[in-house]
Structure 1
Amino acid sequence: MKAITQAKYGPTEVLRLTEIDRPGVKANTVLVRVQAASVNAGDWHLMRGSPFLARLMFGGLLKPNIKVLGFDVAGTVEAVGQAVTRFQVGDHVFGDLSECGFGAFAEYATATEEALALKPNNLTFTEAAAVPGAAMTALQALRDIGQVQPGQRVLINGAAGGVGSFAVQLAKAFGADVTAVCSSAKVARIKSLGADSVIDYAQVDLSQKEVYDLIMDVAAYRSVFDYLPLLKPQGTYVLVGGAIARLFLVMILGSAISTLSNRRVKSLIVKPNTTDLTVLKDLIEAGKLVPLIDHLYSLEEVPEAIRRLEQRQVVGKVAIRI
């Protein structure tokens, strides 16, 4: 089969379109004929081996253990192991392969049942592939960490990215009043997702006091301390993405900051699972969630797709048609 592979860490030039063996099916796995994939920040972190923590988490201190990147996938079930009960050959599925060894940038990939769900009926494979990682991140940040409630005021910083664009829609689906923050060039597209107000990130008024019940920071390039005054007492700040130094600060000192500030300061570690994929499927089929795709590339163009994402000019998701 054809796949995008890498033998060393580095820029997009280390990625090559090659022929490799099709993965085999184990008793508890599903073989998926990949119809589409999408690109995430995690892909370019693993490609570059940076930050170094990525190497520690996934192995390969000097060279990558993961030869085929990509974890967002949508496709058709080609074969199932004898212990598989949820899926059968011919099913249209989508899912997150980040706990199954990755491998979505290829013509075939394997996954456990827990990594997949049936594809939403009203999405194409390309649209469905844009959903799993980003939408599941947004869902768990808002519902599980943020515990968002109807009528609450929610600020989403970094609303124009993959996670942010889903977060805007999910927060509205949960009944919140949503303020989205993005660059001025992206305001119109994010407004179309249903945000109650959209602010240019350069115009965020940090002098406001106790405005929001929940702040979801998908692009954490300002300090958490800049945002704390905007939170109501007992409000929640959830860090999802951005500068690594900001992430480590919240991971290490979040509990102490929470105690001293009377606000909850948390970071998110996403846990892919079929239950949340099914929640997202139901929301999509109910018309409450729509993937926003910035650009579509072929398998051969995966390096260019990752390069586009690294430049941080993407609105929504970058998809790959296999």
Structure 2
Amino acid sequence: MSNEMRAALYDRYGPPEVLYEGRLPKPVPGPGEVLVRVHATSVNGGELLARRGGARYATAGGFPKRTGLDFAGEVEALGSPMTALAPGTRVWGMLGYAFGSAAEYVVVRPRRLALAPAGLDLVQAAALPGVGTTAITALRDKARLRPGERLLVRGASGGVGSVAVQLGRAYGARVTGLAGAANLDFVRELGAEEVYDHRVTTPADLGRFDVILNTAPGPGLGAYRRLLAPGGRMVSVSFDPERQLASLAYIAASAVFGSRRVRFFSGNPTHPLLADLTAYVESGAVRPVVDTVFPLADIAKAHRALEEGGVRGKHVVRIG
């Protein structure tokens, strides 16, 4: 058995083309750790920011650096016996605030794992851990979305947005989606009652909402916040990458100077939240939406595709 593995790497910050498929030592699980053979991972916005050098706090250390946050695969080996896991168990999970799941193997703690949904192809499953847990946290835990409330999802055709539309419907909300013109029928099929082209629709055209979920990078938080009904809640999982400090300052000020607070969080899910996502999928409330599957050798193309926009759901990278 080889002591090396294939992995996506980059030797400098820059555009997608800095990424390449290289080789690293195969990790060995220590006590209390799990070695997972990765079937697939997905491309997330935070990885684009890190690759460009915009999140150096999360990519400490020298080059080469790695990419990938979530994964779906099978348990390969255990650093110590565990009753809930055994080699061959299908799992999915997240690396937390680290990068490196775009590789043949990852070592994680059990708290970063949950059983993958029964009957779901693991390549398809890889589209969900990051965005699915984010959508659950945003709507259920932060906004406390209730049946009958009006929910606006900004960026409804993307990774988090496509799950949020499905969850909003499952929670009994009346869902409105903002997306590109080519994706309006797609968002309606996911469960939105109303859909609008974000390029030609202004906030003034939309009315009032009890909950607004912002998943779209760029300016505009203030204009959408003004659409909140009394007691309304706005959750943002994205901000303007060109004005990071100003965006975060606005979110912070909303909690102090206004009743319509904007909630922002960075996902770091553990087992209970991943297990909740598994249950939502197995119940039929949520399904993965995969735009394109790329081989690991095309990791640069996968990053480029996400940067170009217009994605329906997620771009997935097949490792095997």
Q: Tell me the TM-score normalized by structure 1.
A: 0.92
Q: Deviations over 1:237-265 (max 9, x none)?
A: 11111413566445334354345432122
Q: Deviations over 1:43-102 (max 9, x none)?
A: 11111112xxx1023324xx557x221111111100011164432111000111134x33
Structure 1 match to 2:139: 142
Secondary structure of the 2:25 match is coil
Specify every segment of 5 or more residues in structure 2 that has no aligned partner in the other structure, as ranges: none
Q: Any conservation in 2 of the 1:250–1:266 contact (CA below 8 Å)?
A: no
Cα drift, residue 200 of structure 1: 0.6
Pairwise mapping of residues 210-225 of structure 1 onto structure 2 (< 5 A)? 211-225=208-222
Structure 2 match to 1:45: 49
CA, structure 1 residues 199+209, in 2 after alignment: closer, same or farther (shift >3 Å)? closer
Letter in 2 for 1:25: P
Letter in 1 for 2:220: S
Match of 1:165 among 153, 159, 162: 162
- Number of residues of Structure 1 aligned to a counterpart in Structure 2: 315
Q: Mean Cα displacement is larger for which, 241-250 or 228-237? A: 241-250
CA, structure 1 residues 195+122, in 2 after alignment: closer, same or farther (shift >3 Å)? farther
Q: 2:275 aligned with 1:274, yes or no?
A: no
Find the aligned partners of 1:25 and 1:81 in 2 and give their Cα distance: 5
CA, structure 1 residues 78+185, in 2 after alignment: closer, same or farther (shift >3 Å)? same
Structure 2 match to 1:176: 173
CA, structure 1 residues 64+223, in 2 after alignment: closer, same or farther (shift >3 Å)? farther
Q: Any conservation in 2 of the 1:86–1:113 contact (CA below 8 Å)?
A: no
Cα drift, residue 16 of structure 1: 1.9
Find the aligned partners of 1:20 and 1:201 in 2 and give their Cα distance: 43
Letter in 1 for 2:59: F
Pairwise mapping of residues 54-93 of structure 1 onto structure 2 (< 5 A)? 54-60=55-61, 63-64=62-63, 67-82=65-80, 84-93=82-91
Specify every segment of 5 or more residues in structure 1 that has no aligned partner in the other structure, as ranges: none
Q: Any conservation in 2 of the 1:250–1:267 contact (CA below 8 Å)?
A: no
Find the aligned partners of 2:79 and 2:125 in 1 and give their Cα distance: 24
Letter in 1 for 2:309: R
Structure 2 match to 1:319: 316
Structure 2 match to 1:98: 96
Identity of aligned residues (%): 37
Moved over 6 A (4+): none
Letter in 1 for 2:74: T
Q: Tell me the TM-score normalized by structure 2.
A: 0.92
Q: Any conservation in 1 of the 2:20–2:299 contact (CA below 8 Å)?
A: no
